Chains A and B, each alone.
Chain A
């Protein structure tokens, strides 16, 4: 599986942001969740991610599955031919991974190329 081509990832100082350009929803990931998700940029398998996380003993099974489930449920990942990235390497300062979808998506229709305000209904 790999992140869809129109899902953009940006690294933050304490995690990452994923923006789905199709739905305009964005997701805030803490650094542990980003460690799990980053291999999906190049392609990996769900089993590899689960195995690495669970095998390390650092990550709780439920928390890891929760992150993967959000990726699958919201269609942020899709099948790919090559699982190039392998699995995540867990850092020592591992914490409970969190992935949070923002309640409101960014605007899909806006006033103009400069103004992202939602247009008033005419």
Chain B
């Protein structure tokens, strides 16, 4: 996507369009400059952004300040409530919940980001190519979409994840992303079909611009608000499905932990030993909430027609 596609480039008096030093006051703000300025005005989104940075710091720097590692067990403290020794309390086996929760947060944050980028990118490319080119391209790509939608994703992930026990969790990221992009690809295809007949797309086509360039320069920027909102929803969707699969024991495998496995361990004791449930569940909800707030702020900032910018 080219960032030089600035809107309303009018040549103002005082600038020399053929070169020379541009005068500062008359500089036309770039599209992303406007988007950034609008985003800064979204208070909730900014708050979400700040909190997510803090959560990142907590997850990755926090463990250095902890007295215990997530693999350690304190055999003098089973099911202790939060104290100065164990900030978040301890689990049934004497594990330090603070260290465990941070470890789970690391997993959730990274998995969420990776899965979202992969799946939204795939959806945008597959959907727009299918919609723009039509014909056999469309048929073959949509057949793949249908096939992947039809394949029982939960079952396949559930059966495959335990076989990756002890290996890298990146397999898990790929599996999650592979089953997340299809519905968006269908939506993108639908929107591309209606964009294909617009005058500016036709004009570009008749001027001999290659198909993939039309898609990159005209189709995708026009659905960018959908893609960005989809990517943010995918971050939270990935985090939620990661923790959900882990909740059933089909995701992150022991001895590693995820927020999902921590919540699963807490389920039966949630009413008697509430900290087991409140800390991991609270962090999980906080992460997803912040991601969603950022997504909505971006949406309002990106849509040039939304009335809130002035």
| Same complex | no
